Amino acid sequence: MTDPFHSPKRRLARAHEHVSAVKTGLLQFMSGVPHTHFTEPDGNTGFVLHKVKLAEPIPAEFADRTVEAIEGFRSALDQVVFAASGKGTVKNAYFPIADSAAELENVIKGRCKDVPADLVSYLRLLRPFKGGGHAIWALNKLCNSGKHKFLAPVGFASGGMHVHHLATSGVPVELFAPVWDTVKEEMTILRTGSSGGNLDYNIDIAFNIVFGDVDGARGEDVIGTIEAIASNVDKIVSGIISESERLKLV
């Protein structure tokens, strides 16, 4: 007997493969990400800014796989609802996600006309709206962003820094908090006097990769976000399958 949920399960499995590849690749990239130190004058004070920037960009493959994982998880949700809606003519059977509980009802009216009423009641219990289930709401926002402007997605934020050595004589030094400038793609770590004195330092910079200017996940850690999405989608797909079997819809 053919498994009615074969398609959403395949989409889910493929999305997980992308998540695994993104996690492995990004962790490897971050562990050895090359960066360079440079200085430039501070136009406001006349002092010298000591900065760090990346020596190479994030490989495009990571952004591509992130988009594909997100689209796969969103598709798995739609497909499992479609499959759970039973046999016959089914056209409007999607997994509803909205920005609020009130808007969820409008989405259900427009996109779940062919979903059995008992299954719709179950979908409501999942609270797939902003404030109800952040991971699923973020998934929908990310998926829409990916389709319309790709994922502006992976930008850098500093994950912290460790000062191994900092020695100075005859020159004032101001140590900055590690905040990544997403516009200039650089980070200021020190500000010193413009001339004279001696300065010697060894500072390690730890980088993290976050989503860029995307609604629902702006500034959030890419790996943590897609893993949370994966976990939530797994539970939802499994729950819908179990509920459809309990209701004898398939």
For residue range 69-108, list pLDDT tens digits in order: 999 999 999 999 999 998 667 889 999 999 999 999 999 9
71 contacts 146 by C-beta, under 8 angstroms = yes
List the one residue out of 75, 95, 98 whose CA is nearest residue 85: 95
Higher pLDDT, 1 or 213: 213
Residue range 30-77, pLDDT digits in tens: 887 778 889 999 887 788 998 988 888 788 898 899 999 999 999 999
Range of the domain at 60: 6-246
Q: What is the DSSP letter of 184?
A: T
Residue 157 is predicted with a pLDDT of: 64
57 assigned to some structural domain = yes
Instruction: Report yes or no on 221 lying in a domain.
Output: yes
pLDDT score at 233: 98
Quote the pLDDT of residue 200: 82
Q: Is residue 157 part of a domain?
A: yes
Distance CA 32, CA 30 (A): 5
- Greatest Cα pair distance, the chain, in angstroms, is 83
Could you give the CA distance from residue 175 to residue 187 in angstroms, rounded to a whole number?
A: 12
Query: Domain for residue 149, yes or no?
Result: yes
Neighbours of 56 (CB within 10 A): 9
The pair of three-digit structure tokens given for residue 32, joined into one six-digit string: 């050895």
Is residue 118 assigned to a domain?
A: yes
The number of distinct structural domains making up the chain is 1
- Structure confidence by residue, pLDDT tens digits, 138-186: 999 998 875 544 443 345 666 677 777 787 777 888 888 878 887 788 8
Q: Give the span between the Cα atoms of 64 and 146, in whole angstroms.
A: 9
Give the closest residue to 150 by CA, choosing from 71, 229, 224, 219.
Answer: 71
Examine residue 1 and state whether it is found in any structural domain, yes or no: no
Please tell me the predicted confidence (pLDDT) of residue 150.
Answer: 43
Choose between 62 and 10: higher pLDDT: 10
Strand partners, 36: 53
Measured between alpha carbons, how far apart are the two ends of the chain, in Å? 12
